[in-house]
Structure 1
Amino acid sequence: MDTSAADDGLLGPADVRALAGRLGVRPTKSLGQNFVHDGGTVRRIAAKAGVRPGGVVLEVGPGLGSLTLALLAAGARVVAVEIDQRLATELPVTVAARRPDLAHDPDGGLEAHLRVVRADALDVTELPALAGAAGAAAGAPTKLVANLPYNVAVPVLLTLLERLPSLETVLVMVQTEVAERLAAGPGSKVYGVPSVKAAWYARASMAGSVGRQVFWPVPNVDSALVRLERREPPTTTASREEVFAAVDAAFGQRRKTLRAALAGWAGSPAAAEEALRAAGIDPALRGERLDVEGFARLAAAGRQAPGA
């Protein structure tokens, strides 16, 4: 065991490699797997996430358990969603071995602190309550804290914000480029579909960078933390699906004006212009100039246009 992390049960580099070797796990690009092996990094993530004793946290892609152990060390109860059967099966074993105090908790044992759901996060519609929780509602997670697989970070994040309204705050580690897009505001060069759709659910902001050397294997891209704080969506008569359809259309031809880019969405350039003007938006603007409230007005105006 790596004694540098033994005092609080965290996994060090030697532990991660030994555990992966015993399980026959080789990180795969198809699953976007890069395992964190630095205790300081996972402690920092738990602290930045504002994890408090007794709080219920959702973790997606716990892998070998590095961040899971840090969340538990901070006093959280964790519901972990893991797509890999071997990793899902082994996680409770790892936690029980490194945190025997939790395994022998008289108020429900390990299941009062950790539940592992073997599933693809994109398929999750509800989560189980932790043992010992005062009913399912009391056990609903209020935070999402995760090292999200790079290849599915945005769809996973948007899906969980949609399906799990109990989530109030999010702190996730993603590729720096993805973090910047999620946190970007109108007018930024990287502002686009992820920026607007994330803004429908929450206020996003950058929360720090993460060095490549804390991962195994070392990725060939930089990573960063992004924070999202739940907010009410814009007031509009249009549905979320209708707003998102307008967003997709506007950025589908990014270099074109909204009048041109939205022609297919509205039925014609003239209809697009009519909807834009009804929403108080200059048809000569491009999509990157429009905030989520503007898209909400646009979608509502499009619903009311003749033939809509």
Structure 2
Amino acid sequence: MATQSFAHGNYSHTQKKARVTGGHSPRDRARRALSQSFLTDGPAVEQVVQAARPSGLVLEPRSGTGTLTAALAGTGAEVVGYETDPLLAVKLKARAGVRVVKGELTAARPPREPFEVVGNIDLSVTPKIVDWCLRAPALTSATLVTPWDYARTQSGDSGQWSLVTVQSWPWFTWELLGVIGRESFRPVASVDSAILRIERRPEPLVADESDYRDMVKLGYSGIGGPVHASLSTQYAGVHSALDEAGIAHDTAAATIHPDQWITLAGRIIR
């Protein structure tokens, strides 16, 4: 059986080209040091809010100037903004009328009650924030504006999936919900961004998290070559399991759809 392609459509035609601009004042230098590029375009902000569908408690990392914060609060959600820039934190509280925490979201203890994360985040902190979200037991969803290439790989839109996505797939769905051009940011961003949505499943797709994660990690390790060779170093019946999942034996781990990894787990984990 041939390996099925599960990749999403190609959004590259929506990218815009723009010249990166920006001043050189002390505030500009501080903003760049903190990796700040603010989402200011109204339609783009509304696009994020619609993708997030906020309700209840919403935490926003890197709130910045508060444009997205105010839009989220306008839906009636209980918004808590996290901002590392002290001056922006003061302005944010006055503008958006929400609770503001000075500091990084990832330094905070996750709430015990169900909550969502919505935010525009720079690539330098994206992996850390995503990891924090996946580890939070009460998180229901995270809607994040991230660099376009990152979102494509995490969601499978590029035809490949990251180790993080595959390891978390039994508990979370990952979707790319739209592209936001670099001109929607101030200062103009160096790359286009995308809306990446991570949502907790109502019920997990596998029973044993540790065994599943270990299997996927071994498959991605490249030990012995392609995934067939890697998995065969520890598991029996890999040959027939790959056939049942529709995976060619010389397939690279990153190109295997997460659903196929779950099928593999059901066949070879004892």
Aligned to 1:45: 48
Quick check: 1:281 aligned with 2:257? no
Quick check: 1:120 aligned with 2:87? no
Q: What letter is aligned with 1:274?
A: A
Percent of aligned pairs sharing the same letter: 24
Aligned to 1:80: 81
Give the match's secondary structure for 1:272: coil
TM-score when normalising by structure 2: 0.73
* Residues 1:290 and 1:22: Cα distance change in structure 2 (over 3 Å): closer
Aligned to 2:227: 258
Q: What letter is aligned with 2:127?
A: V
Aligned to 1:234: 205
Give the match's secondary structure for 1:200: coil
* Residues 1:176 and 1:255: Cα distance change in structure 2 (over 3 Å): farther
Alignment of 1:170-249 (within 5 A): 170-184=142-156, 189-231=159-201, 232-239=203-210, 242-249=211-218
* Residues 1:281 and 1:34: Cα distance change in structure 2 (over 3 Å): same
Deviation at 1:257, TM superposition (A): 1.3
Aligned to 2:261: 294
Deviation at 1:68, TM superposition (A): 0.4
Q: Determine the C-alpha separation between the residues in 2 that align with 1:43 and 1:176.
A: 18
Q: What letter is aligned with 1:154?
A: P
Give the match's secondary structure for 2:169: helix
Aligned to 1:266: none
Which of 148, 153, 162 is 2:135 aligned to? 162
TM-superposition CA deviations, 1:196-249 (whole Å, max 9, x none): 13423322222111111111121221111122332033223342xx53343333
* Residues 1:199 and 1:215: Cα distance change in structure 2 (over 3 Å): same
Gaps of 5+ in 2: 1-21
* Residues 1:65 and 1:25: Cα distance change in structure 2 (over 3 Å): farther
Q: What letter is aligned with 1:155?
A: K
Instruction: Verify the 8 A CA contact 1:154 1:194 in the aligned structure 2.
Output: no
Q: Determine the C-alpha separation between the residues in 1 that align with 2:135 and 2:267.
A: 20
Alignment of 1:97-108 (within 5 A): none
Q: Determine the C-alpha separation between the residues in 2 that align with 1:77 and 1:48.
A: 17
* Residues 1:175 and 1:83: Cα distance change in structure 2 (over 3 Å): same
Instruction: Verify the 8 A CA contact 2:180 2:192 in the aligned structure 1.
Output: yes
Instruction: Verify the 8 A CA contact 2:228 2:239 in the aligned structure 1.
Output: no
* Residues 1:118 and 1:252: Cα distance change in structure 2 (over 3 Å): farther
Higher relative contact order (CA 8 A, sep 6+): 2
Q: CA RMSD in A?
A: 3.5
Instruction: Verify the 8 A CA contact 2:180 2:195 in the aligned structure 1.
Output: yes
Give the match's secondary structure for 2:195: strand
Give the match's secondary structure for 2:204: coil
Gaps of 5+ in 1: 1-16, 96-109, 128-135, 263-268
Q: What letter is aligned with 1:289?
A: I
Greater Rg over alpha carbons, structure: 1
TM-superposition CA deviations, 1:109-137 (whole Å, max 9, x none): x5xxx22233333333324xxxxxxxx74
Q: What letter is aligned with 1:56?
A: L
Equivalent residue pairs, number: 242
Deviation at 1:67, TM superposition (A): 0.7
Q: Determine the C-alpha separation between the residues in 1 that align with 2:263 and 2:153.
A: 20
Aligned to 1:26: 30
